Structure 1
Amino acid sequence: MAIPSKARVVIIGGGVIGCSVAYHLAKQGWSDILLLERKQLTSGTTWHAAGLIAQLRATQNMTRLAKYSQELYGSLEDETGLSTGFKRCGSITMALTAERREEILRQASMARAFGVEVEEISLGEVQKRYPHVNTSGATAAVYLPLDGQGDPANIALALAKGARQKGARILERVKVTGIEVKDRRATGVSWEQDGETGFVEAEMVVNCGGMWGHEVGRMAGVNVPLHACEHFYIVTEQIDGLGQLPVLRVPDECAYYKEDAGKMLLGAFEPNAKPWGMTGIPDQFEFDQLPEDFDHFEPILAAAVERMPMLAEAGIHTFFNGPESFTPDDAYHLGLAPELENFWVAAGFNSIGIQSAGGAGMALAAWMESGEKPFDLGDVDISRMQPFQGNKTYLFERSKETLGLLYADHFPYRQKATARGIRRTPLHGHLLEQGAVMGELAGWERANWFADPGQDRAYQYSWKRQNWFENSAREHMAIRESAGLYDMSSFGKIRVEGPDAERFLNHVCGADMSVPTGRIVYTQMLNEAGGIEADVTVTRLSETAYLMVTPAATRLADQTWLRRHMGDHQVVLTDVTSGEAVLALMGPRSRELLGRISPNDFTNETNPFGTAQDIEIGMALARAHRVSYVGELGWEIYVPTEFAAHVFETLREAGRDEGLKLCGLHAMDSCRMEKAFRHFGHDITCEDHVIDAGLGFAAKTSKPGFIGRDAVLERKETGPKSRLVQFQLQDPEPMLYHAEPILREGEVCGYLSSGAYGHALGAAIGLGYVPCDGESAANVLGSAYEIEIAGTRVPATASLKPLYDPTSSRMKV
């Protein structure tokens, strides 16, 4: 087939993901779809995938996508005539420790909240369903009857055939050699085939390059952080009478088992993986295997022989080692690349490409069609990746860990161990000297809690109260009762400047930005449906300049949103995150403490809540913002980076007599939970309407022309369809994290979007949406609520006002 000179969309890569994107675009009625595959379809990593197809993922939307994949694969055979090998054989996950037991029971509770059929089964029932397994040492098991398995290559080929039937062109042995970019748009791709070269103009380009995705992205100047790792499995000789079995996962032994046409497949996700392809993937790579490394696999096999004794008798038919691509955070990359306006990414699927491909292709096609995400995809949105994460050395080091994390204990607050110490605030060394235990977010090293003298400066993970619980409780109560100081330098800072700055921000923000210099505005940036795209504070610095402060992880995404809605406004956007350190001084004694080291006036008359002023502090100059994310009197002190250490030392010295305590970000989070302050990405997302989130006060509908205004007016008229409710457990012992089911009058009605322990309230606190279409607030609160934790229902008190200081008088005193 001749290669066309133009296409509406060029898809690069013919694995299961590329085939799914082509299929779903064609299903939407798109024409002029061109998929180019460098070798043969499936010849990269798809062909050797294990083909496990599970429903349950870590979030509701990821679970939605996985369930869609199952339904699609079940119907593709009738549509295309190609067998996908899909069958619902069920799956069993077996725990071998008390901590893993807690994890899988919590996952089972989460599954019920997400509408996934699941049941806890006894070890006797495990052996009935899986007679070959040795349950010795097991502590619990769960069974998902609708999980399944399929033939990876045939699934991809069926998707490709379905796409072709709807008019898509899929060409093999055409290598993309370059991507032309002009004015922030990809204009087309260069190709090579059998010594011939050419160019295809394109309205859109999609990078489905799999483990080549990083290099394909670089052709267009787009950051796609991923790295290949070696992935091992063995397949036995034929075992007489084996029959169909559920998929079995034993994560404590890093192993999974799958019956495969009368043979057993044993796969591994070992804790210390082997990165591959540091110097690039060989040009001729096609259906290739990597060299065997039996020594590396042997510990997994030794445990497996004990767990599945028949493996000792069965001969090994195949020892397979093939590459898979992994991302820095073990979540795949999907969506519109921040660098360009028409370059899309679907790559880096971390060994769950088969179960994800159907849903990911559907979601990306819908996004490409409408220009809006079809639902919240924040977990996988490519814009979450930081520019430095494309560094090859970083990817090499991080990939050693990410493969194994798939089967590691998924403890709350678990921190990555590899590729650390890259982004440090100006106060990093000072905090370490004082006992800081660092966590990492978007590459930033941030003090999460402070160890006592002689205490081990490390996390000891658990599903119960971890070793830092009391440390964080003391930090929390210092903020509530005296004064706490914590480092917020990692938060994103975007300067919006120009003659149209006010008009532009009034267009993209829900709140009114026509405020005096020195005023701080809390606002959201909304989409046309009234969903929340960003949750920020904006400070007016001058007539033509504002400072937008964003969460650390979303600075790039928020700046990209601003740029894409700039239109003809005369404004300049500048990332100034690294220019200023930020010290948050919070607590009832913070005003007195500031008065010791600054001649400025911090009274309500001069510096009321929601205002900023330039100040002298010690021997430096800074800007004090009177705001709070913890619900107490306090200031965020913005200081040029070079003065940060001096200001920190000055505050520490002045605070010795004021009960000032260094605090970590765990304490900040538990304080905000008591105040029911929302966390973007958990409690509020692009899918959550600003009215339902209880943030309608920040959307000024008297102001014309802002994005989402019509949707806000409509929801104000109809009333919320859900309400974000705060819950406090009536038992002070259990811990809440997120995704625990909410039961209303005994029936699951939702799940917690976030959770933490409320040390001042004396119990765990959670936030979660309760459907309430047509109901009054009083009706919602008139019900009895429980929260399910690892299968146990715990009564909870519900509130629509903050359980801590409901009038917010403490912040404004």
Structure 2
Amino acid sequence: DVWGMDVARFGEWASLRYTNAKVRENYSRRFSIRFPNEELPAARPAQTTPLYDTMLANNAVMGDSWGLETPLWFAPKGTEPKDIVSFHRSNDFGPIGEEVRATRERVGVTEIANFAKYEVSGPGSEDFLNRLMTNRMPKIGRIVLTPMLNEFGRLIGDFTIAKAGEERFMIWSSSAAQKYHMRWFEKHLPRDGSVRIHRFDQTLVGLSIAGPRSRDLLQKLVDVDVSTKAFRFMDFREMAVGGAPCMVNRITYTGDLGYEIWMAPAYQRLVYKAIKDAGEEFGLVDFGMRALLSMRLEKNFPTWFRELRPIYGPFEGAMDRFIKLEKNDFIGREAAAKEQTEGPKRRRVSFIVDAADA
């Protein structure tokens, strides 16, 4: 795993000016203690979404996610939106707990622009994706979750894929790996031009609503039926949300009932305002990336570069149900089959830490 030395860790935002600022910052801190979750300020903000100023006005503490300013948590009104770093519970613990509790009990909204977004299209797109991914591609209007392996059967990606049309797929994954993944995609593109790949970066942004009242909230924003039967778990639809053209996934990273809503940047503020206005009666709250990561841990959802890395195989990563060894050949299949037969040498599991200060 040589990720720490791979230039694909950086995007176009890592300019000479950015690099100079970060080098100076890192060198000046060479004898300083680095605390958990510490965010460093040099060369920021590099990239922002249309909601950046709105998030600041909402008392958000912002963090850097592959060069993009992302809400981490929301400080209570009347307090300074600032991390006080510590090896113990920091000042974000209480507010994040409230964000999680409100989302689990009512409904929450968070910005998800920091995901990687791709479109794969063309007559060869389905065969191409079936060759790269371990899971079968979905039918039109449906979503699958799938790992991607290298030729040694090691995990090099974890994707959400929706079939948006006969020859069109929408793909979401970790933002930090998008250059890394694009390099792999382009390496395996067929030379006959039958497959096209577009990386959206920040030309497509998103919001996620999650919690038991999220369906009621979404229904107020759309003119189509989003009941359980009409809009099932793992469905994909294109619809107007709050008057804006959007793509909507019936899926969330929190593990709750919820939706991912994707739109062009020009519509993000419109959709966010519509969600906030309609959500008042349901007790809607804003929640940040740290609450999202807390909730996905409670559901045992892995995330890229934390639990899933190229040093692990798919069965070590507990991704068994997404590995379709019976389908036509995919990259890494032989190694994955061997791992299944011999059994993984280690296994990803979740622990409950029963302590007052963990």
Normalised TM-score (structure 1): 0.43
Which residue of structure 1 lines up, in the alignment, with residue 317 of structure 2? 693
Hey, what's the Cα distance between the residues in 2 that align with 1:603 and 1:585?
A: 15
Match of 2:263 among 626, 632, 639: 639
After superposition, residues 535-574 of structure 1 pair within 5 angstroms as 535-568=158-191, 570-574=194-198
What amino acid does structure 2 have at the position aligned with 1:568? R
* Offset from partner CA, 1:421-440 (integer Å, 9 cap, x none): 11111211211111111001
Hey, what's the Cα distance between the residues in 2 that align with 1:720 and 1:397?
A: 44
Which residue of structure 1 lines up, in the alignment, with residue 345 of structure 2? 721
**Alpha-carbon shift at residue 577 of structure 1 (Å):** 2.4
Hey, what's the Cα distance between the residues in 2 that align with 1:734 and 1:433?
A: 31
* Offset from partner CA, 1:684-705 (integer Å, 9 cap, x none): 1111010111101111111111
Residue 46 of structure 2 corresponds to residue 422 of structure 1: yes
**Alpha-carbon shift at residue 406 of structure 1 (Å):** 2.7
**Alpha-carbon shift at residue 568 of structure 1 (Å):** 3.3
**Alpha-carbon shift at residue 400 of structure 1 (Å):** 2.2
Hey, what's the Cα distance between the residues in 1 that align with 2:69 and 2:83?
A: 15
Report the identity percentage. 29
Hey, what's the Cα distance between the residues in 2 that align with 1:485 and 1:449?
A: 12
**Alpha-carbon shift at residue 663 of structure 1 (Å):** 0.5
Which residue of structure 2 lines up, in the alignment, with residue 667 of structure 1? 291
Residue 95 of structure 2 corresponds to residue 471 of structure 1: yes
**Alpha-carbon shift at residue 489 of structure 1 (Å):** 0.8
The question of whether the paired residues in 2 share the 8 Å contact of 1:425 and 1:490 is answered with no
Which residue of structure 1 lines up, in the alignment, with residue 229 of structure 2? 605
Hey, what's the Cα distance between the residues in 2 that align with 1:474 and 1:440?
A: 23
Give runs of ≥4 in structure 1 deviating > 6 Å.
none
What amino acid does structure 2 have at the position aligned with 1:378? W
**Alpha-carbon shift at residue 529 of structure 1 (Å):** 2.2
* Offset from partner CA, 1:580-636 (integer Å, 9 cap, x none): 221010101100111112122112212111111122222222111011211100000
- Structure number with bigger Rg: 1
**Alpha-carbon shift at residue 468 of structure 1 (Å):** 1.2
The question of whether the paired residues in 1 share the 8 Å contact of 2:248 and 2:259 is answered with yes
The question of whether the paired residues in 1 share the 8 Å contact of 2:13 and 2:47 is answered with no
Hey, what's the Cα distance between the residues in 1 that align with 2:300 and 2:266?
A: 35
Hey, what's the Cα distance between the residues in 2 that align with 1:408 and 1:656?
A: 44
* Offset from partner CA, 1:355-404 (integer Å, 9 cap, x none): xxxxxxxxxxxxxxxxxxxxx12222221121221x22222222221112
**Alpha-carbon shift at residue 405 of structure 1 (Å):** 2.9
Hey, what's the Cα distance between the residues in 1 that align with 2:11 and 2:161?
A: 22
SS of equivalent to 2:230:
coil
Hey, what's the Cα distance between the residues in 2 that align with 1:603 and 1:715?
A: 41
Hey, what's the Cα distance between the residues in 1 that align with 2:337 and 2:24?
A: 50
Which residue of structure 1 lines up, in the alignment, with residue 65 of structure 2? 441
**Alpha-carbon shift at residue 478 of structure 1 (Å):** 1.5
Hey, what's the Cα distance between the residues in 2 that align with 1:438 and 1:699?
A: 36
After superposition, residues 449-464 of structure 1 pair within 5 angstroms as 449-464=73-88
After superposition, residues 639-788 of structure 1 pair within 5 angstroms as 639-731=263-355, 733-735=356-358
After superposition, residues 167-566 of structure 1 pair within 5 angstroms as 376-389=1-14, 391-513=15-137, 515-566=138-189
SS of equivalent to 2:165:
coil
The question of whether the paired residues in 1 share the 8 Å contact of 2:225 and 2:231 is answered with yes
What amino acid does structure 2 have at the position aligned with 1:438? M
The question of whether the paired residues in 2 share the 8 Å contact of 1:426 and 1:581 is answered with no
The question of whether the paired residues in 2 share the 8 Å contact of 1:492 and 1:551 is answered with yes
Hey, what's the Cα distance between the residues in 1 that align with 2:104 and 2:216?
A: 15
Hey, what's the Cα distance between the residues in 1 that align with 2:240 and 2:343?
A: 47
The question of whether the paired residues in 2 share the 8 Å contact of 1:601 and 1:607 is answered with yes
The question of whether the paired residues in 2 share the 8 Å contact of 1:378 and 1:681 is answered with no
Hey, what's the Cα distance between the residues in 1 that align with 2:267 and 2:41?
A: 31
Hey, what's the Cα distance between the residues in 1 that align with 2:159 and 2:112?
A: 14
* Offset from partner CA, 1:475-507 (integer Å, 9 cap, x none): 111221111100001211111111100000000
* Offset from partner CA, 1:193-251 (integer Å, 9 cap, x none): xxxxxxxxxxxxxxxxxxxxxxxxxxxxxxxxxxxxxxxxxxxxxxxxxxxxxxxxxxx
* Offset from partner CA, 1:145-172 (integer Å, 9 cap, x none): xxxxxxxxxxxxxxxxxxxxxxxxxxxx
- Structure 2: where are the runs of 5+ without partners? none
Hey, what's the Cα distance between the residues in 1 that align with 2:216 and 2:270?
A: 19
* Offset from partner CA, 1:699-749 (integer Å, 9 cap, x none): 111111101111222222222221111111122x132xxxxxxxxxxxxxx
The question of whether the paired residues in 2 share the 8 Å contact of 1:437 and 1:458 is answered with yes
The question of whether the paired residues in 1 share the 8 Å contact of 2:13 and 2:46 is answered with no
The question of whether the paired residues in 2 share the 8 Å contact of 1:494 and 1:559 is answered with no
The question of whether the paired residues in 2 share the 8 Å contact of 1:497 and 1:571 is answered with yes
What amino acid does structure 2 have at the position aligned with 1:581? V
SS of equivalent to 1:582:
strand
SS of equivalent to 1:678:
coil
* Offset from partner CA, 1:120-169 (integer Å, 9 cap, x none): xxxxxxxxxxxxxxxxxxxxxxxxxxxxxxxxxxxxxxxxxxxxxxxxxx
After superposition, residues 114-125 of structure 1 pair within 5 angstroms as none
SS of equivalent to 1:535:
strand
* Offset from partner CA, 1:95-136 (integer Å, 9 cap, x none): xxxxxxxxxxxxxxxxxxxxxxxxxxxxxxxxxxxxxxxxxx
**Alpha-carbon shift at residue 467 of structure 1 (Å):** 0.9
The question of whether the paired residues in 1 share the 8 Å contact of 2:250 and 2:259 is answered with yes
SS of equivalent to 1:724:
coil
The question of whether the paired residues in 2 share the 8 Å contact of 1:378 and 1:384 is answered with yes
SS of equivalent to 1:478:
helix
**Alpha-carbon shift at residue 652 of structure 1 (Å):** 0.2
Hey, what's the Cα distance between the residues in 2 that align with 1:633 and 1:552?
A: 23
What amino acid does structure 2 have at the position aligned with 1:618? G
Hey, what's the Cα distance between the residues in 2 that align with 1:552 and 1:533?
A: 13
**Alpha-carbon shift at residue 549 of structure 1 (Å):** 0.7
Hey, what's the Cα distance between the residues in 2 that align with 1:696 and 1:565?
A: 24
Which residue of structure 1 lines up, in the alignment, with residue 203 of structure 2? 579
SS of equivalent to 1:541:
strand
In structure 2, relative to structure 1, the CA distance for the partners of 1:600 and 1:405 (3 Å cut) is farther
* Offset from partner CA, 1:422-475 (integer Å, 9 cap, x none): 111121121111111100121110000011111111111111111111111111
Which residue of structure 2 lines up, in the alignment, with residue 56 of structure 1? none
RMSD over aligned Cα atoms: 1.2
Hey, what's the Cα distance between the residues in 2 that align with 1:639 and 1:671?
A: 24
Hey, what's the Cα distance between the residues in 1 that align with 2:24 and 2:191?
A: 46
What amino acid does structure 1 have at the position aligned with 2:146? T
Match of 1:622 among 239, 246, 256: 246
How many residues are aligned here?
Answer: 357
Hey, what's the Cα distance between the residues in 2 that align with 1:400 and 1:568?
A: 44
Hey, what's the Cα distance between the residues in 1 that align with 2:354 and 2:53?
A: 41
Hey, what's the Cα distance between the residues in 2 that align with 1:470 and 1:663?
A: 13
Task: Name the structure with the higher strand share.
Answer: 1
